[in-house]
Structure 1
């Protein structure tokens, strides 16, 4: 399974934050700030990527996505 959908949603959320909209900073810099409004997407992306490494969930598939 791929985490592309979650990555796209997380990047879209970061683009809407004050960091990118007002301050015009780089996407990578804004991701490092860990915006609280995008925390759920960041955690879901982390769980998805972790599931790709874990052998048991790699066979069974990521849960909930």
Structure 2
């Protein structure tokens, strides 16, 4: 995992582990990929930001400049 996206991944895991979905289902994998209404909007925003960060790692247009490092 890239250093620039690692902080976002940790924040996303922390946010999901504190959500109601994980408290009921008892595992993060079932809640991370779904658009579940019990997931807070902050976690959804973190997921989108993390995906954009990972997308920036493989985007060849930013190859010279590097990832933005959210």
Displacement of 1:64: 5.5
Q: Tell me the matched-pair count.
A: 64
Normalized per residue, the structure richer in helix is 1
Q: What 5-or-longer segments of structure 2 have no aligned partner?
A: none
Q: What 5-or-longer segments of structure 1 have no aligned partner?
A: none
Within 5 A, what are the aligned runs for 1:10-49? 10-21=12-23, 23-34=24-35, 35-37=39-41, 38-49=43-54
Distance in 2 separating the partners of 1:64 and 1:25: 31
TM-score by length of 2: 0.75
Give the RMSD, CA atoms, in angstroms.
Answer: 1.7
